[in-house]
């Protein structure tokens, strides 16, 4: 369980103090010869830990008589530590060590007396930790219920997900009841079961999201294919050649897209769909331009036939420029197509007046 409480550090510190009392002084005092730095270090550590013990006793020992006795005993321990410090400062390390042995005995006695409070505090912290877990799990459940609601609005079957979330909530309710009865062990087991249900619900969310993504991208692919078909049908009546080229590109593109979807490569499919949409708009503009220009080519060639008897030179220019435009369109060379189109339009204007009779001049 995750315990996020400052009191945890205090309780852990008390446990550490007990361990220190049992081990560290003995190790320090059996060293021969006694080293001053070790004595001074031990005195410093014990002074700090006695302060922490005093804080623990003041905050966690609820029996007033016991609290007063422990605090009095700790004051006596502090006096002993100060005495040991004075002896060490004057170089009387052996005497200082003897005093520290007395400190050790007193602290062991205090540690034994506060063991019930330590375990009671640990149990209290476990209960608080369980309560925190319950709150966190309820927040997760609420978030996933919102997700389930959105899935339902999109037509996704969420029965399994909602059942898992309902089971998890029931387990958490039971855990709260057990905590009220001070049955920490049972509450902890129920929270673990609820956690398992929530984890299973998370996996269900991912599965449903996968299904929704498949559904959405499949619908988008169908919609894109329908747009391509409509464009082809419109082009077919204007320019069969442009329509044929567009149909080949559209067919190959949709086939690639459907293959990615079928293989579950949705990320690649989405990327391809965005690319195809962009390419489609570019091609659509070009194809309609192509269709208009192709009509211009046909008109120029027909006009060349008409004016050939009266202006063969202009007719040849019309035919040659029309062929240039046609070739540029076929190779999708927009620059050449634009230049040839402008030139051809000018020639068409000239051709319209090519066969008019010249006015006679009066003598």
Tokens of 1: 């369980």
In this structure, are residues 283 and 249 in contact, taking their beta carbons and an 8 Å threshold?
A: yes
> Between helices 266-307 and 240-262, what is the axis angle to 10°?
170
- What is the reported pLDDT for 261? 85
- What is the reported pLDDT for 143? 93
Give the integer Cα–Cα distance in Å for 286 and 328. Answer: 12
- What is the reported pLDDT for 204? 92
Q: For residue 227, with 0-12 CB atoms within 10 Å meaning exposed, 13-18 middle and 19 or more buried, which class applies?
A: middle
- What is the reported pLDDT for 153? 86
With residues binned 3-state (H G I as helix, E B as strand, rest as coil), the percentages for the chain, rounded to 5, are: 85, 0, 15
In this structure, are residues 43 and 84 in contact, taking their beta carbons and an 8 Å threshold?
A: yes
- What is the reported pLDDT for 359? 54
CA atoms 230, 233, 234, 239: torsion sign: positive
3 state SS of 1: coil
Give the C-alpha distances (Å, rounded to integers) separating 228 from 214, 236, 277.
Answer: 21, 12, 10
CA atoms 50, 55, 56, 62: torsion sign: positive
In this structure, are residues 107 and 56 in contact, taking their beta carbons and an 8 Å threshold?
A: no
Nearest to 108 by CA among 45, 29, 20: 20
- In this structure, how many other beta carbons lie within 10 angstroms of the beta carbon of residue 295? 12
- What is the reported pLDDT for 285? 67
Q: What is the dihedral of CA 142, 144, 146, 151, to 10 degrees?
A: -160
Q: For 135-150, give one letter per residue: b (16+ CB within 10 A) or e.
A: eebbebbeebbebbee
Length of the chain equals 363
Give the C-alpha distances (Å, rounded to integers) separating 288 from 33, 338, 346.
Answer: 102, 14, 21
- What is the reported pLDDT for 140? 93
Tokens of 269: 């499919």
- What is the reported pLDDT for 167? 95
- What is the reported pLDDT for 196? 94
Tokens of 313: 């030179």
Nearest to 212 by CA among 156, 132, 165: 156
Half-sphere exposure (CA, 13 Å, Cβ side) for 302? Answer: 6
Q: Could you list the pLDDT tens digit for every one of the 363 residues in the chain?
A: 443 343 444 444 455 555 555 444 444 444 444 467 888 888 888 888 888 888 888 888 888 888 888 889 889 989 998 988 888 888 888 888 888 888 888 888 888 888 787 777 777 778 888 889 999 999 999 999 999 998 888 888 889 999 999 999 999 999 999 988 888 889 999 999 999 999 999 999 988 887 777 778 888 888 999 998 988 888 787 677 778 888 899 999 999 998 988 887 877 888 888 899 888 887 776 666 666 777 788 888 888 888 888 888 888 988 898 888 888 877 777 778 888 888 888 888 888 777 765 555 554
Nearest to 107 by CA among 65, 58, 57, 46: 46
Nearest to 194 by CA among 124, 151, 136, 123: 136
Tokens of 353: 């007046």
- What is the reported pLDDT for 274? 87
- What is the reported pLDDT for 160? 92
């Amino acid at each position: 369980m995750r315990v996020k409480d400052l009191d945890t550090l205090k309780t852990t510190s008390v446990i550490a103090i007990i361990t220190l009392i049992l081990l560290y002084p003995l190790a320090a005092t059996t060293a021969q010869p006694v080293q001053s730095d070790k004595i001074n270090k031990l005195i410093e550590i014990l002074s700090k830990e006695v302060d922490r013990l005093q804080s623990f006793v003041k905050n966690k020992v609820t029996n007033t008589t016991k609290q007063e006795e422990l605090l009095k005993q700790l004051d006596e321990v502090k006096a002993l530590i100060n005495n040991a410090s004075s002896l060490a400062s004057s170089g009387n390390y052996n005497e200082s060590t003897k005093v520290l042995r007395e400190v050790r005995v007193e602290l062991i006695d205090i540690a034994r007396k506060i063991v019930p409070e330590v375990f009671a505090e640990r149990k209290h912290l476990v209960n608080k930790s369980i309560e925190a877990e319950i709150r966190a799990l309820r927040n997760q459940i609420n978030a996933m219920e919102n997700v389930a609601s959105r899935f339902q609005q999109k037509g996704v079957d969420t029965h399994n997900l909602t059942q898992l979330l309902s089971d998890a909530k029931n387990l958490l309710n039971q855990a709260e009841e057990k905590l009220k009865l001070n049955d920490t062990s049972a509450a902890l087991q129920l929270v673990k079961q609820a956690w398992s249900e929530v984890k299973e619900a998370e996996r269900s969310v991912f599965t449903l999201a996968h299904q929704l993504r498949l559904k959405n991208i499949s619908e988008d692919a169908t919609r894109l294919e329908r747009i391509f078909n409509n464009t082809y049908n419109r082009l077919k009546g204007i320019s069969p050649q442009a329509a044929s080229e567009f149909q080949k590109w559209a067919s190959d593109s949709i086939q690639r897209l459907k293959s990615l979807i079928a293989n579950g490569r949705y990320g690649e499919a989405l990327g391809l769909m965005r690319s195809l949409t962009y390419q489609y708009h570019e091609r659509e503009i070009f194809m309609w331009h192509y269709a208009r220009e192709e009509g211009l080519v046909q008109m120029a060639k027909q006009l060349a036939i008409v004016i050939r008897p009266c202006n063969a030179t202009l007719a040849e220019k019309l035919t040659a420029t029309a062929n240039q435009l046609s070739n540029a369109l076929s190779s999708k060379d927009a620059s050449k197509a634009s230049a040839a189109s402008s030139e051809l339009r000018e020639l068409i204007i000239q051709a319209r007046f090519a066969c008019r009779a010249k006015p006679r001049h009066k003598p």
